[in-house]
């Protein structure tokens, strides 16, 4: 019996009859740009920084963006001269962004949670998140901080660690506001990371200005460095390689692209050539920042029994 089994040819070894086609050849492997497009088609990008367009004329809507964008943080940062305290300018921006989203119901959808972000994507819409707010727009008031949260803001940009900052960071953890450390100096970064219990964001990160030890602290916190993508994918890949090496692959993210018409395929293709895995690229696209926001939400839910700061 064993001999019969040993001698019996398997289907894969039986030669094709004369005139019959053989088994089809396996398809050639996809090149890096094709693989990048496939990843981005299934895993759209969360962009950390989107500016309100100068023109809100209906003919110019929806605003231009990369085709691979699946969610966007809409900046509420008040520029010089807009308002001394920043509060009025911030409220105007919130109102303008809400009006913009309402005018593009087939394209944009306001989101306040990671669940709402996913729902927007499943409905074929780009999720719009409010934030970050300027530190000066708080007026050193925790009550103002909470009011922004009620209005739908989900990120605040902490740029200096003044006496108000320590309690403000704790209050942000309590109510579910992400701490954005873009533009903060190294001392502020270290102080804020020592206080916050939720992962920080750097929605406009400049990792090239940060020493290795600070990147290591960001990695320990689970922070996400959202890097600007330019038309030089190799240079951007160099920056991301360093963040991955010093902070970890869980800390990389995308701020925005300076060339929306080109999008993110060239960068993702370059990273594939450098040996980045598909899982790491999904993290870069959206999974890392989504994880940071989800942890911020979870921390808030567990802290709601704490009394509010004055």
Instruction: Please write the tens of the pLDDT for every residue from 178-210.
Output: 999 999 999 999 999 999 999 999 999 999 999
Tell me if 173 is assigned to some domain.
yes
Tell me if 282 is assigned to some domain.
yes
Angle among Cα 121, 53, 147 to the nearest 5 degrees reads 70
pLDDT level of residue 272 (50, 70, 90 thresholds): very high
Tell me if 26 is assigned to some domain.
no
pLDDT in tens, 86-100: 799 999 999 999 999
How does the average pLDDT of the chain come out, rounded?
91
Q: 3-class SS at 75?
A: strand
Q: Is 169 exposed, middle or buried (0-12, 13-18, 19+ CB in 10 A)?
A: buried
Helices and strands (DSSP H and E) totals, the chain: 12, 9
Structural domain containing residue 295? 44-52+66-303
Number of structural domains in the chain = 1
Tell me if 19 is assigned to some domain.
no
Cα–Cα dist 127/108, whole Å: 6
Tell me if 246 is assigned to some domain.
yes
> Residue 283: is its pLDDT beyond 60?
yes
Cα–Cα dist 20/15, whole Å: 10
Q: Is 294 exposed, middle or buried (0-12, 13-18, 19+ CB in 10 A)?
A: middle
Tell me if 86 is assigned to some domain.
yes
| More reliable by pLDDT, 68 or 162 | 68
CATH of the domain at 108: 3.20.20.140
Closest of 103, 104, 112, 159 to residue 131, by C-alpha: 112
Tell me if 14 is assigned to some domain.
no
Instruction: State the pTM of this model.
Output: 0.88
Cα torsion for 153, 260, 257, 34, to the nearest 10°? 120
Tell me if 234 is assigned to some domain.
yes
In the chain, beta strands by DSSP E: 45-50, 69-76, 108-110, 126-133, 155-157, 178-180, 201-205, 224-229, 252-257
């Amino acid at each position: 019996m064993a001999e019969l089994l040993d001698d019996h040819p398997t289907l894969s070894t039986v030669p094709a009859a004369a005139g019959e086609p053989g088994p089809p050849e396996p398809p050639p492997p996809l090149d890096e740009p094709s693989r990048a497009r496939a990843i981005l088609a299934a895993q759209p990008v969360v962009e950390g920084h989107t500016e309100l367009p100068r023109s809100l004329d209906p003919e110019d809507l929806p605003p231009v963006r990369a085709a691979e964008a699946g969610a966007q943080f809409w900046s509420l940062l008040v520029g010089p001269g807009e308002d001394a305290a920043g509060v009025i300018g911030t409220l105007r921006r919130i109102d303008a962004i809400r009006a913009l989203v309402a005018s593009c119901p087939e394209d944009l959808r306001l989101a306040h949670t990671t669940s709402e972000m996913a729902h927007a994507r499943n409905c074929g819409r780009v999720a719009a998140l409010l934030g970050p707010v300027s530190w000066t727009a708080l007026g050193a008031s925790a009550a103002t901080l909470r009011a922004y949260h009620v209005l739908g803001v989900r990120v605040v940009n902490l740029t200096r660690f003044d006496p108000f900052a320590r309690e403000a960071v704790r209050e942000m953890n309590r109510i579910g506001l992400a701490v954005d450390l873009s533009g903060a100096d190294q001392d502020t970064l270290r102080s804020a990371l020592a206080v916050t219990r939720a992962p920080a964001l750097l929605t406009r990160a400049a990792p090239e200005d940060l020493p290795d030890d600070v990147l290591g602290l960001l990695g320990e916190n689970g922070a996400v460095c959202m890097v600007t993508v330019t038309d030089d994918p190799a240079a951007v890949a160099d920056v991301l390689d360093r963040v991955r090496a010093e902070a970890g692959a869980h800390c990389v993210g995308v701020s925005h692209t300076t060339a929306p018409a080109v999008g993110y395929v060239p960068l993702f293709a370059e990273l594939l050539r450098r040996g980045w895995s598909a899982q790491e690229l999904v993290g870069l696209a959206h999974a890392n920042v989504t994880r940071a926001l989800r942890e911020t939400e979870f921390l808030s839910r567990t802290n709601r029994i704490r009394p509010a700061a004055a």
